[in-house]
């Protein structure tokens, strides 16, 4: 399912939850908008079958008596109509719609759990490592100016880990990702040192899964779960391929990926063992 549909679903489900928590029906909310929005449209908005305007969302929030500015701003951002445009809008010339939507979803998440068997997670990459990975995986000729811009975007994304009210990140990384060979050994030494520093942050957990482990569920491929705390029904799985991004929705489907991640956590190295292995690999480079 496309990312815009994911965002509309998040918005619709959130509005439905707010309405129901106040004991209001769709028609009652419609009447409180003085007829500016009818019940049928509210239904379409809540089921994500139509894209509402920021003005529509403001009217619904007003009708439901939602005054909390943080809640209002969060929901308005999902319409693209928040009072503070996302920082990524200034990079639209180099961002694909799918990437822009990922950044938007990421900025609203409370926690991200990720399994990356062959590459360091983007939120934990250094600039030099990101540049090498972006260049190696680019399919459009890897123009230097575009690569440079995408590196800046990747670094800017990392503010979700260090800014106000940072999200929680649990990253499980395959051992092979730590052993990536580069022309300049300093690049991987610096990247591994960055991982060692990041693992000490209170909101970051890093585990390494040894290459010597028997076959496991992670061999089906990399993925990330974006979690939204109290709005667990909005959690979504992001899977990135060479040419597109896929989003897995539906509570039952997301839970399957969460269960798979739990299995990986149970066979991966502990935090302390992970630090020892990363240090050993770094010092051998």
Residue 238, in any domain of the structure = yes
52 and 110 belong to one structural domain = no
More confident residue, 115 or 48: 115
> What's the CATH code of the domain at 274?
3.30.870.10
What percent of the chain has pLDDT above 90? 70
pLDDT confidence tier of residue 57, bands split at 50, 70 and 90: very high
Yes or no: say if 114 and 238 are a contact pair by the CB < 8 Å rule: no
For 245, the domain range is 94-125+158-284
Instruction: Tell me: pLDDT of 142 over 70.
Output: no
Total structural domains within the chain: 2
Place 8 in a pLDDT band, splitting at 50, 70 and 90: confident
Q: Are residues 13 and 106 in the same domain?
A: no
Phi, then psi, of 248 in degrees rounded to 5: -100, 120
For residue 2, pLDDT over 70 is answered with no
Same domain, 229 and 170: yes
pLDDT of 80: 64
pLDDT at res. 99: 87
The full DSSP string for 174-228 is EHHHHT---SSHHHHHHHHHHHHHHTTSTTEEEEEE-TTSPS-GGGG--EEEEE-
Is residue 50 predicted with pLDDT exceeding 90? no
Shared-domain flag, residues 208 and 244: yes
**51 and 181: one domain?**
no
For residues 197-202, give the mean pLDDT: 97
Q: Are residues 72 and 204 in the same domain?
A: no
Same structural domain, 73 and 162: no
Reported as half-sphere exposure (CB side, CA atoms, 13 A), residue 150 has a value of 21
Q: Mark which of 45, 77, 109 sits at the end of a domain.
A: 77
Residue 9 sits in a domain whose CATH number is 1.10.260.40
H-type alpha helices, the chain? 3-21, 26-32, 39-46, 54-63, 69-77, 97-108, 127-137, 144-157, 159-162, 175-178, 185-198, 251-267, 271-284
Residue 141: per-residue pLDDT: 62
In a domain, 88, yes or no: no
CA-nearest of 183, 186, 207 to 278 is 207
pLDDT at 178 over 80: yes
pLDDT, residue 256, reads 98
Q: Which of 77, 108, 142 is the last residue of a domain?
A: 77
Domain boundary among 46, 77, 108: 77
Q: Are residues 172 and 258 in the same domain?
A: yes
- For the ranges 42-51, 65-74, 138-147, 200-209, the lowest mean pLDDT is seen at 138-147
Q: In this structure, are 49 and 111 located in the same domain?
A: no
Q: Three-state SS for 238?
A: strand
Share of residues in the chain with pLDDT > 70 (%): 95
Q: Confidence band (pLDDT; 50, 70, 90) for 101?
A: confident
**pLDDT greater than 70 at residue 81:** no
- Asked whether residue 4 carries a pLDDT value surpassing 70, the answer given is no
| Co-location of 54 and 98 in the same domain | no
| pLDDT attached to residue 245 | 86
Residues 38 and 106 reside in one and the same domain: no
Q: How much is the pLDDT for 1?
A: 54
Please give the model's pTM, rounded to 2 decimal places: 0.83
Mean pLDDT of the chain: 91
- Same domain? For 119 and 54 the reply is no
**Two tokens, residue 116:** 């990356």
Tens-place pLDDT, residues 179-189: 999 989 999 99
């Amino acid at each position: 399912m496309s990312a815009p549909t994911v965002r509309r679903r998040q918005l619709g489900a959130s509005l439905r939850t707010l309405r129901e928590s106040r004991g209001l029906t769709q028609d009652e909310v419609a009447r409180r908008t003085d007829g500016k929005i009818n019940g049928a449209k509210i239904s379409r908005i809540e089921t994500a079958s139509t894209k509402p305007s920021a003005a529509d969302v403001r009217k619904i929030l007003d009708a439901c008596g939602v005054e909390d500015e943080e809640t209002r701003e969060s929901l308005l951002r999902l319409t693209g109509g928040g009072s503070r445009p996302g920082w990524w809008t200034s990079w639209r010339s180099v961002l694909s719609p799918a990437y822009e939507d990922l950044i938007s979803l990421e900025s609203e998440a409370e926690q991200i759990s990720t399994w990356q068997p062959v590459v360091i997670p983007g939120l934990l990459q250094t600039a030099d490592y990101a540049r090498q990975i972006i260049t190696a995986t680019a399919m459009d000729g890897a123009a230097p100016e575009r690569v440079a811009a995408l590196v800046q975007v990747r670094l800017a994304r990392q503010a979700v880990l260090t800014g106000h009210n940072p999200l929680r990140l649990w990253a499980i990384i395959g051992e092979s990702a730590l052993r990536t060979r580069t022309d300049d050994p300093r690049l991987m030494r610096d990247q591994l040192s960055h991982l060692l520093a990041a693992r000490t942050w209170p909101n970051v957990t890093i585990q390494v899964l040894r290459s010597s482990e028997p076959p496991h569920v992670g061999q089906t491929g990399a993925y990330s779960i974006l979690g939204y705390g109290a709005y667990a029904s909005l959690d979504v799985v992001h899977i990135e391929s060479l040419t597109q991004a896929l989003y897995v929705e539906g509570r039952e489907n997301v839970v399957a990926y969460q269960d798979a991640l739990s299995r990986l956590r149970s066979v991966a190295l502990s935090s302390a063992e992970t630090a020892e292995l990363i240090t050993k690999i770094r010092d051998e480079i």
